[in-house]
A and B are shown apart, each in its own frame.
Chain A
Amino acid sequence: MTAVPDIEFRAVTKRYGAVTAVSGIDLAIPPSAFVALLGPSGCGKTTCLRMIGGFEQPSEGQVLIRGRDMAGTPPYRRPVNMVFQQYALFPHLDVEENISYGLRQARPRLSSRQISQRAGEALSMVQLAGYGRRKIHELSGGQQQRVALARALVNKPAVLLLDEPLAALDKKLRTDMQIELQNLQREIGITFVLVTHDQEEALSMSDFVCVMNGGRVVQLGQPSEIYDEPANLFVADFVGKTNLLSGKVAGLSGGLVDVALADGTVIAARKRVPLSRGEAVSVSLRPESLSLSAPGGGSLKGIVRNRIFLGSTAEYAIEVQGIGSLLAKADHVIGQGNLFKPGEPVAIGFAAGAPLAFPHTKNNGTNQREDQNAEIVS
């Protein structure tokens, strides 16, 4: 990418007293992209967003917007706008006054005709034409969300920042807004930076996902990359559902490793980092990559404990002797009664490339999430 990135972090660190919220992040967000900063609470994603907005100053390093260092530039002089968590709409102003708030601050001043025209356009953009004179408290959550969007976008920012914008909405509305946000971003063509702890939201809306943990960027990539090729155990576990099986490296053959699982079964797995013989590893197996069949074939044998029928798919919790409980997901085909019942023995198989082995270290392990929660404030 040769174009100047809309947002660039250069070795950015942010400390609050003894607590390090963000440590040494380098990140370039390409122009006109929908980017999600994804991570558990306390991973530093909100701090990053607030540093772009100018509400926090980095302790070290630089934040650049369209190639300009923003050090010392207050929020009101930055070419970005934010959609706040719970919207932060002005309760004493009506919808149109909220939306035109930013336009009224513009210097040189805009004429009142320009202001009302642009506010009107922004209202129709978020499908709220005719709501201009409503009070904020008269609007539903979804409508308030749209007002917050219009209030930010009407200023034609270089980058739109969204801080958990959908967290307060119910599930149905959230799905609608996800599609609407995606459409808006394509229409306007500016960069959207979305902060979320909801991996589904991040994967479904954005062009790029930046997974963060413990104040660092763990992986930056397209949603499918993040899901299919997680950089480490944390990403594999945090993004999407997965089964983690612990074992030891029994042998190396070409690009694959043979992993001996706890029950003695040896399976071939792909790897992301070099592994050595005898090393303790965790193998990630996505539920949808498991296939169930009648006893006889397959790599592993188990007994169905629970069945969760979801319409198009069914999820099974399967007890495997010596390994534990595995989650499997199977497509449901109408008319084929291939549903396994609780108590039934099954054989579990998987495609050759499906298992992915990671070194089993504490550093990128799954239990680190809880540790981080305890010590870092968001």
Chain B
Amino acid sequence: MRGSLFRKNLVTTLLLAPAALWLVIFLVLPFIAIAIFSVGERAPEGGYQAALTFAQYANLPARATAFWNTMVLAPIGALACLLVAYPVAYYLALRAPDRWRLILLAMIVIPFWTSLLMRTYAWMYILGGRGIPALLAYVGIEDLRLINTPGAVLLGIVYGYLPLMILPIYVSLERLDRRLLEASADLGATPLSTFLGVTLRLSLPGVMTGFSLVMILLLGEYLIPTLLGGGKVFFIGNALVDLFLQSRNWPFGSAIAITLVLVSVVVLIIANRISTRLSGARRVDLI
């Protein structure tokens, strides 16, 4: 008995070892390094110099704009994504004819096969001077600036992250027991009350999964603000690139990175709490 138990444990250990090793080397160790950097000082020639100070954290307000932009545009972006994604997911899961469903789902996923960089780059042209504003100029609407505005960044966000929002919502709606909808109608609920009282409530785990997924990725977003915000709409991700690669202030960059991780964790916990409470589910799938 004891021997077989030992062997079972050994097998489990061996199976888990590669993943654990990977996480330790590429996640835990770098995280510790960043945490240590964040209480250090910038060496005179750039980089890191050992110290124990919280000066970097005290200096966070210097990058308040980046935090502000991220903290405002990330939730708004995730919300905008949600508003566009829900009807699409609803149609796919509950209304689309069976033989179309797979094709429609594929059409949502296929853009992923092209790099986000290329697709966002395309938007630069669509929104830029020779794109939509040029077309609008023909009908007399002049001097409209779309590129390098928060609106352009928001559009890029919705465009880039929509599939990540649609898929988890689709999955939760797909799993929805259709007889619950019939039961609701049978008990006198109009289609709207059924949607609010049953469909929406039971798809909340999917909504929260999609929302936190998009939100967390947005907190570290760098590409879309750079291309569509033109350096005017600055995210934390942009601040990090600047601090680590340009001004080589590693300790300050590390302090910002640590703060970002903490914020992400808090967002995740809150999202998890809300969806568990509202759906009555005992378990929430995060992917």
Query: Could you tell me the distance between the alpha carbons of A54 and B185 in the complex, rounded to whole angstroms?
Result: 9
Q: How far is the CA of A135 from the CA of B282 in the complex (A)?
A: 11
For chain A, residues 153 to 194, give those with C-beta under 8 angstroms from any C-beta of chain B: 155
Verify if A93 is at the interface (C-beta below 8 Å from B): yes
Q: Mark A41-66, 1 if CB is under 8 A from B, else 0.
A: 00000000000011100000000000
Complex: chain B residue closest to A91, CB-CB: B280
Cα A82 to Cα B187 in complex, Å, equals: 8
B142: CB under 8 A from chain A?
A: no
Contact status A92-B188, CB under 8 Å: no
Q: Flag if A74 contacts B184 (CB, 8 Å).
A: no
Cβ-neighbour of A82 out of B177, B180, B186, B197 (below 8 A): B186
A321 interface residue (CB < 8 Å to B):
no
CA gap between A126 and B190 in the complex, in Å:
27
A 120-163 binary contact with B (CB < 8 Å = 1; else 0)? 00000000000000010100000000000001100100000000
> Which residues of B have CB within 8 Å of A102?
187-188
A84–B185 contact, CB under 8 A?
no
Closest Cβ–Cβ distance, residue A145 to chain B (whole Å): 14
CB atoms of A101 and B179 under 8 A apart: no
Question: In the complex the two chains form, is A155's CB within 8 Å of B188's CB?
Answer: yes
A88→B193 contact, CB < 8 A: no
Which of B185, B198, B278, B279 sits near A74, CB closer than 8 Å?
B185
Verify if A90 is at the interface (C-beta below 8 Å from B): yes
- Picked from A55, A74, A91, A105, the residue with its CB within 8 Å of the CB of B187 is A105
Knowing A91-B202, A91-B280, say if A151 contacts B187 (CB, 8 Å).
yes
Q: How far is the CA of A80 from the CA of B281 in the complex (A)?
A: 30
Q: Tell me which of A80, A101, A135 has the highest count of chain B C-beta atoms within 10 A of its own C-beta.
A: A101
Q: A332 to nearest B CB, angstroms?
A: 45
A309 part of interface (Cβ distance < 8 Å): no
B185: chain A residues at CB < 8 Å are 54-55, 74-76
Identify 28 residue pairs between A and B in the complex whose beta-carbon atoms are under 8 Å apart, listed by A's number: A54-B186, A55-B185, A75-B186, A76-B186, A76-B187, A76-B188, A76-B189, A80-B186, A81-B187, A82-B182, A82-B183, A82-B186, A84-B183, A88-B179, A88-B182, A88-B183, A90-B184, A91-B202, A91-B281, A92-B281, A93-B280, A101-B184, A101-B187, A101-B197, A105-B188, A106-B188, A151-B187, A155-B187
| Chain B residue contacts of A137, Cβ below 8 A | 282
Q: List 8 additional contacts besides A75-B186, A76-B190, A77-B188; criterion CB under 8 Å.
A: A54-B186, A74-B185, A84-B179, A89-B183, A92-B202, A101-B187, A105-B193, A137-B282
A76 to B187, CA, bound (A): 6
Point out the residues of chain B lying under 8 angstroms from A92, CB to CB: 201-202, 278-281
| B214-258 vs A, Cβ < 8 Å mask (1 yes, 0 no) | 000000000000000000000000000000000000000000000
The reply to whether B180 and A88 contact each other, CB–CB distance below 8 Å, is yes
- Among residues of B, the one whose C-beta sits closest to the C-beta of A55 is B182
Q: State the CA gap A19–B201 with chains docked (Å).
A: 36
> Which of B179, B193, B282 has the most chain A CB atoms closer than 10 A to its own CB?
B179
Residues of A within 8 Å of B184, CB to CB, are: 90, 101
Taken together as a complex, chains A and B put the C-alpha atoms of A197 and B1 apart, in Å, by 50
Expressed in whole angstroms, the minimum distance between the Cβ of B274 and any Cβ of chain A is 13
Q: Verify A105–B280 contact, CB threshold 8 A.
A: no
Q: Is A306 at the interface (CB under 8 A from chain B)?
A: no
Q: Is A366 an interface residue (CB 8 A)?
A: no
Contacts of B187 in A (CB 8 A): 76, 81, 101-102, 105, 151-152, 155
Q: Interface centre among B183, B187, B201, by most A CB within 10 Å? A: B187
For B243-287 the 0/1 string (1 means CB < 8 A from A) is 000000000000000000000000000000000001111100000
A291 within 8 A of B: no
Closest to A107 in B: B188
In the bound complex, residues from chain B placing their C-beta under 8 Å from that of A155 are 187-188
CB distance from A129 to the nearest CB of B (A): 21
> Which residues of A have CB within 8 Å of B198?
90
Give Cα distance in the complex from A93 to B280, angstroms: 7
Given A92-B201, A92-B279, A92-B280: A86 in contact with B179 (beta carbons within 8 A)? yes
Contacts of B179 in A (CB 8 A): 84-86, 88
Contacting residues, chain B, for A105 (C-beta < 8 A): 187-190, 193
Q: In the assembly, what is the distance between CA of A55 and CA of B181, in Å?
A: 11
